[in-house]
Structure 1
Amino acid sequence: MVSARRLLGRLAYGARYNRVPWGQRVYVRPGERTLREAQWRWRLRRSPVLSLEEYQANVPLGEIEEFLSCTLCGETSQQPLFQPTGGGKWRYRVVRCPSCGFLYRNPNVRPERLGDLYATGYSKFLTGKYAANRQRRYNLTMQAFSPILDHGEGRRLLDFGCGAGLFLELAEQRGFDACGVDLSPDSVAQANERLTKARAFHGAPHDVPEIAAGGFDVITLWSVLAHLPRPLDDFTMFRELLAPGGVLLILTVNARSLLLKAYGSEWSGFTKNHLMFYSSETLPRLLRRTGFAGVGYVPSYGDTIEAGTTRLPDSLRERLRRTVEATDGGNMMRAMAFADDEAIIRWGDRLDIDRLRDASVSKPPLDLTGSAGL
């Protein structure tokens, strides 16, 4: 059965775009960008803003969950926007901070229960269909930020949330002195079977003496940021683990994605274990509060576009690129955070760097949790 949305698209555009992959259509169909941006503005206007007390009164709280105020700015008001679901197996609510625009799951998962999401079966997901083109994505991102990750000789690298070691394997090949940590014990076991020189550890960085000592030239977060329930704590730790001149690479789903504005609760970025959703508008606030000196971005056009394997004709491929660049609306966000001015001078000459105020601050203010105290 054809959905009303698809039927409307066929009536509006005819058959010309039927063969365009669904994830690329909103970027190439004439007028689509304008329509989706207007749709987003309308969603924000008609969605009520509630006090935290009003919100709590009407939302059930799960066993491993807690209510939050905005982690980034402390705002307690909530603007409910989405209710993603996963085939009846899971459901959660996503709210927007009316002060800074941050999108986050609320209720959220309590940090001490985060391991529950990865205790069993997660490595099967990481090494199944999900992993089919994972290393291609890593290579494309490293190329996009060239030369920062081109050569690893004499440089230490930490892959935070290393999963089954797919990136650590590439880091080995590029000469990095690499290690990783992950909350999934079976993923760590698979990673260590895969690796030759690098090593993966189960747990948190402070649990592993050789990691807790710091001195890393590079830290990578590959599709990890959306999984962190206490990002201020984590990013303060990352800043402390980085050596002078160090960089932090971030790949995460993009909360400014045109696909999010088009598909709402059905957006592919709303997955079972995702907790918070960042954009180039909200990420600098997190980095600024945790002591980073600057951040630069590279647009994400999609793996098949960048690898040259898309079915799109040249004219539509170029239209997609222009749309992504004009809206910052790619489905993924790729960012490079710089620990200090030394890092910016050494690595930032090919990027448009957003220099962050208060970059000398090494620790965020008190009350990091954003918890509603429940």
Structure 2
Amino acid sequence: MKLRTSPVISLDEYRSRVKLGAIEEFITCHMCGESRQQPLYEPSRTKKNGRTAWTYHVVRCPSCGFLYRNPNILPERLGDLYSQNYSTFLTGNYAANRQRRYQQAMDAFSPVFAEGGGRRLLDFGCGAGYFLELAEQRGFDACGVDLSPDSVKEANERLTSAAAHFGAPEDVPEIAAGGFDVITLWSVLAHLPRPVEDFRGFRDLLGPGGVLMILTVNAQSLLLKAYGSRWNGFTRNHLMFYSRETLPLLLRQAGFAGVAFEPFYGDTIEAGTTRLSARHSRRLKRGVDAGDGGNMMRALAFADEKAIERWGDGRPVHRVG
């Protein structure tokens, strides 16, 4: 109903309606280049004193269905969102169940993560190093990069053999050299203002047979449909929102060969600790399966045909090349 009743307007008309912030720019659809806009949501957060902490606009591309923030953050100002004690967030309540979620995703994409065997792994947006810690334990030759300097400092205090670096992959010679077997993006994809450029860079960093693992908020989420602008996937730092339909468009432009998805039912459902009855758990799973309605999306992107042959593991692979 929201899609049927929300008008599609030109970018010029949209610019006349929406205020541009100091570190923002108006953009067109990164997936297909469409300039028309379909305004849908206005997420916001209110402080305890009643003042608005932040607010932004989310539009849908009327051509390909991609959901994104517009105006968006200028790429050169992205670090502004993470410069002030971002590790406090990453290590607080947010981090309480992070490693359980990582374990569940790694299990879902077995055998990629079953045993590292010295294979090279890059965790892009490594935060405070919680996943790198697991990668160490599984025997990967692991490293990470992040835009939050305090998070990188905390990560290196936690790690033994792995190392976290501040900045972008091209800033670190041993990372820029490439040849990685695995790259991971844990809740990072929604933060990227220039995703096509970034994913072309990831493709270049992967060696033959390499894979890219993605966990991100799901634009097909049943919770988004239920809560609209109050959806918990709309956070202060999220810029773009993908689904099974739009992620392959990004991967095709970046030169990947294919992608496989695994449904996300929720941390407690998958851990067997949910308070839901068995009947309601089955009903939830059926609902998620019917329309890819999990609140998170889990995807494994294959760099080439060799990667599909090695790591496809019998699961359905959507070829994007």
TM-score of the aligned structures, taking structure 1 as reference length: 0.84
Q: Which residue of 2 aligns with 1:370?
A: none
Alignment of 1:259-298 (within 5 A): 259-298=223-262
Q: Distance in 2 between matches of 1:59 and 1:347?
A: 45
Q: Which runs of 4+ in 1 moved over 3 A?
A: none
Q: Say whether residues 1:113 and 2:72 are aligned partners.
A: no
- How far did residue 351 of structure 1 move? 1.4
The partner residue of 2:43 within 84, 89, 93 is 84
The partner residue of 1:350 within 295, 314, 320 is 314
- Structure number with greater CO (CA < 8 Å, separation at least 6) is 1
Residue type at the aligned position of 1:146:
S
Secondary structure of the residue that 1:273 maps to in structure 2? coil
Q: Which residue of 1 aligns with 2:60?
A: 96
Render the CA deviation track for 1:158-215: whole Å, top value 9, x for unaligned. 0000000000000000000000000000000000000000000000000000000000
Q: Which residue of 2 aligns with 1:144?
A: 108
Count of paired positions: 316
Q: Which residue of 2 aligns with 1:48?
A: 7
Render the CA deviation track for 1:270-311: whole Å, top value 9, x for unaligned. 000000000000000000111000000000000000000100
Q: Say whether residues 1:233 and 2:197 are aligned partners.
A: yes
Q: Say whether residues 1:305 and 2:274 are aligned partners.
A: no
Structure 1 stretches lacking a partner, 5+ long: 1-41, 358-374
The partner residue of 2:146 within 179, 182, 188 is 182
Alignment of 1:3-82 (within 5 A): 42-82=1-41
- How far did residue 154 of structure 1 move? 2.4
Residue type at the aligned position of 2:24:
E
Q: Which residue of 1 aligns with 2:49?
A: none
More strand by share: 2
Residue type at the aligned position of 1:164:
A
Secondary structure of the residue that 1:124 maps to in structure 2? helix
Alignment of 1:297-336 (within 5 A): 297-336=261-300
TM-score of the aligned structures, taking structure 2 as reference length: 0.98
Q: Distance in 1 between matches of 2:314 and 2:235?
A: 33
Residue type at the aligned position of 1:44:
L
Secondary structure of the residue that 2:308 maps to in structure 1? helix
Q: Distance in 2 between matches of 1:80 and 1:356?
A: 28
Secondary structure of the residue that 1:179 maps to in structure 2? strand
Q: Distance in 1 between matches of 2:45 and 2:138?
A: 38
Alignment of 1:110-259 (within 5 A): 110-259=74-223
Q: Which residue of 2 aligns with 1:341?
A: 305
Structure 2 stretches lacking a partner, 5+ long: 47-51
- How far did residue 350 of structure 1 move? 2.9
Render the CA deviation track for 1:110-153: whole Å, top value 9, x for unaligned. 00000000001210000000000000000000011111111101
Secondary structure of the residue that 2:183 maps to in structure 1? strand
Larger radius of gyration: 1
Q: What RMSD, in angstroms, separates the aligned Cα atoms of the two structures?
A: 0.5
Q: Distance in 1 between matches of 2:53 and 2:320?
A: 41
Residue type at the aligned position of 1:187:
S
